[in-house]
Structures are given as C-alpha cells and as structure tokens.
Structure 1
Amino acid sequence: MYITVNEVKLTVKMEDNSSAQALKSLLEKGDITVDMKDYAGFEKVGFLPQSLPRNDSQINTQAGDIILYNGNQFVIYYGTNSWSLTRLGKIQNVTPAQLRQLLGDGNVTATLSLH
C-alpha cells in the first residue's frame, strides 16, 4: 500500500490480519482520501469511509506505524503511544524525523492507494 502526503509517496508494509485485508479490498475499488488532524502531539488521525474489522491488542506504537482505531479511524503515528489498537502496517524507509517533518503540525490530507 502507499500513502501520499504533501506530494510525497510513502510505502507501507501491510500486516497480515483481517483489518489490513479489508483495507486492501476497499482500495481495490479506488484510492481513499483521508483528511487527518493532529492528535496529542504524536499522531495524525482521520476517518475512513467505512468501518473495518478490528483486531485490537495492547501495543506500543512507534513512528511510522499505521493503525486502525475504533474500526473507522486511520492513524499515522509519528511518536509513541501504548493502547489497545489494530496495527494495519508500517511505513518503510523513512526516519521518525523525516516523518514528523512531512506530517507537520497542522491538518494534512493523505491519499491511500495500491499503486
């Protein structure tokens, strides 16, 4: 999967779970645009067009983690957190500092795609 933010295309290695598979199936129908807001100084969060199956477990997030929250919220972590969440994937080949700079302090629009 790919996430494009501010014209930068990021590669995501997807998890092997029903949540990630459901997102992939949704993306096979077309790209998804997610308007994302900053939350708590460690993540960007936005709503998906529909809920996905949850596979929540207590995890410690790291910068680059792609998370499903409450079944319908898409989250990109640029910091750390510990909570009961579903991991969808991990952004590849970007440092935490690069990710933080790309996402910035305000709202961003992310485009999710398979190509």
Structure 2
Amino acid sequence: MRIQISIGGERLTATLSEGAAVRDLVAQLPVTVYMVDHGQFEKTGRLPSPLSREGQPDGADPDVGDVGYYAPGNDLVLYYGDQSYFPGIVILGRLDGDAAQRLARLDGPVRARVEARDD
C-alpha cells in the first residue's frame, strides 16, 4: 500500500509493508499529525489511536527514509537522519525517492496530512 504525506508544502509518498501495525494505521487514514523535529534525525507526531505491536520485535534500527511508529509515545515517525536501535520502534514502510532529503530541509514543527493513495 502507498500513502501520500503532505507536509510543509511538500508532497511525499511512502510504501507501507504488511502487518498489524500497518493495518491499524491505514484504518486511521486520512489523518492529520502535528510533527516536531526530534534529535535532528526524525519528525514525530502523535497518532489518534495506538497501533498494534502484534508480531513485532521489541525494537528496531531504522534507516534514513523509513516510516516508523514509536509505541511508547504513540507517534508516527519519519526518519530523515540516522537513528540507532531503540526499543519500542516498529518499521511501517519506506519513504519513496528523495523524500527523506526533502523532509530534512523542513525546519521546526509541521502539520502532516497522511492519506492512502489509489495507485
């Protein structure tokens, strides 16, 4: 499944993987998430409802360009920099193309509109 993320004047796309957490995210779409920079390597924002962690490891080591979920904070996370392994992270998918680089150029808090794509 693909999603579109409209954020700070940019339209980014991402491809989601399979799993219970992804199904829970898709069920919440469309959703607006208010995101902030965290650690100069990710944008994070609280989702309306928690996502399932069924079948997921205790944590993950996300790559630049990953779309993730931080369970303890109930946050959607867009990684534009390097994050090492951290407990509570679930990888949901990947940003497409140069989306991570474009995301890195957006300073400060942003409003992200996340919607399913038909293609």
Q: TM-score range by the shorter chain?
A: 0.7 to 0.9
Indicate if the aligned counterparts of 1:64 and 1:99 stay in contact, CA closer than 8 A: no
Give the secondary-structure state (helix, strand or coil) at the position aligned to 1:22: helix
2:75 partner letter: Q
Instruction: Tell me the equivalent position of 1:86.
Output: 90
Residue by residue over 1:58-91, the C-alpha shift from the partner in whole angstroms, topping out at 9 and shown as x without a partner, is 4222222111101621111111112131011111
2:41 partner letter: F
Residue by residue over 1:15-64, the C-alpha shift from the partner in whole angstroms, topping out at 9 and shown as x without a partner, is 1111011111221xxx2000001111111111001111123444222222
Instruction: Tell me the equivalent position of 1:59.
Output: 60
In the alignment, structure 1 segments of 5+ residues that lack a partner are none
Deviation, 1:96, is: 4.2
Deviating above 6 A after TM superposition, structure 1's stretches of 4 or more consecutive aligned residues are none
Instruction: Tell me the equivalent position of 2:46.
Output: 47
Q: Counterparts of 1:42 and 1:89 in 2: how far apart (Å)?
A: 17
Indicate if the aligned counterparts of 2:69 and 2:92 stay in contact, CA closer than 8 A: yes
1:3 partner letter: I
In the alignment, structure 2 segments of 5+ residues that lack a partner are none
TM-score (norm 2): 0.83
| Aligned Cα root-mean-square deviation (Å) | 1.6
2:91 partner letter: R
The match for 1:8 among 10, 21, 29 is: 10
Indicate if the aligned counterparts of 1:68 and 1:87 stay in contact, CA closer than 8 A: yes
Indicate if the aligned counterparts of 2:79 and 2:100 stay in contact, CA closer than 8 A: no
Number of aligned positions between the proteins: 110
1:17 matched to 2:28: no
TM-score (norm 1): 0.85
